[in-house]
Amino acid sequence: MFFPQFRARRIRGSETFRRMVRETSLSVNDLVYPMFSAFGSGIRKEVSSMPGIFQQSIEHIVAEAKEVRDMGIPAVLLFGIPETKDAVGSDAYSDNGIIQETIRALKNEVQGLAVITDVCMCEYTDHGHCGIIKDGDVDNDSTLELLAREALSHAKAGADMVAPSDMMDGRVAAIREMLDENGYDSIPIMSYAVKYASGYYGPFREAAESTPQFGDRRSYQMDPANRLEALREAASDIEEGADIIMVKPGLPYLDIVRDLRNEYNMPLAVYNVSGEYSMIKGAAQRGWIDEERVVLETMTSFKRAGADIIITYHAKDVAGWLGRGKI
């Protein structure tokens, strides 16, 4: 049926009918809010390249987490900034590390909020890479043991879910085995299954103080030109025991999100990363775009591509707009 019998504008012309036939829905339940916990007290330092995002000491993390929970956002994703860093990232798996202490504070003081923890070494090593350095590169297998210890320490502290982001081969299996052997078989793993070596991570490296001191991360993060490799990486992590798989970054890789949605019947997350956030914020501050409209359009694109979960620094804004009946 074609024009003039069919007129698409009959539906589009009514806001009520537009809502009734909308194919993709966005909810506050889709959101995870990343937070940066810094060692010390009285710290609330805005990240210069990420307006509205802060490095915060634990008491401020707790206060903001209460706000997040009260807005209906179901979970936060924690990154840590330790007091000191060393070659083997000792604070990452210390029972008294910055993330472990933050988890305990959140679980004690912010009931009803799920705490997800990033499992990686880059924030804790003095060289800024995601594992143990041997012969100028990250040694995969010796790093696995430390990642597993880190995940276990998070579980012991009370984390609800762990999220390995390092991109070491075999890390999901190593973490799953460590958790299961120590009685934490109910702790799920959200794997950064498909993580590209991206230029969109720049602002995050300021926020997490995790810039590599030499080289880059291309030997362990994926080539942005590769598509089929994403299916292999996801298949490997699923086989090793991942409960949720993730694509990172988000907007430049919506085709990959859709590929994984089509291929796997698994919960699927997407990380709307720092560079994506900062570009929108920067353009909005200059009056070049309507921030609310562009952010909600971006979030909807993730859902339309097939994501179940959106990790985004926009989460609080989105929750506020949705609370006013937007989209």
Q: Quote the CA–CA distance of 130 and 38 in Å, as a whole number.
A: 19
Active site residue 195: yes
Helix axes 228-240, 171-181, angle to 10 degrees: 10
Which residue in the list 248, 281, 303, 316 is annotated as catalytic? 248
Q: How many CB atoms within 10 Å of residue 287? A: 8
Which residue in the list 85, 195, 281, 303 is annotated as catalytic? 195
Tokens linked to 145: 């043991």
Active site residue 66: no
Tokens linked to 75: 């979970």
Tokens linked to 315: 């989460």
DSSP collapsed to 3 states, the chain? CCCCCCCCHHHHCCHHHHHHCCCCCCCHHHEEEEEEEECCCCCEEECCCCCCCEEECHHHHHHHHHHHHHCCCCEEEEEEECCCCECCCHHHHCCCCHHHHHHHHHHHHCCCCEEEEEECCCCCECCCCCCCEECCEECHHHHHHHHHHHHHHHHHHCCCEEEECCCCCCHHHHHHHHHHHCCCCCCCEEEEEEEECCHHHHHHHHHCCCCCCCCCCCCCCECCCCCHHHHHHHHHHHHHCCCEEEEECCHHHHHHHHHHHHHCCCCEEEEECHHHHHHHHHHHHCCCCCHHHHHHHHHHHHHHHCCCEEEECCHHHHHHHHHCCCC
Residues annotated as catalytic are: 195, 248
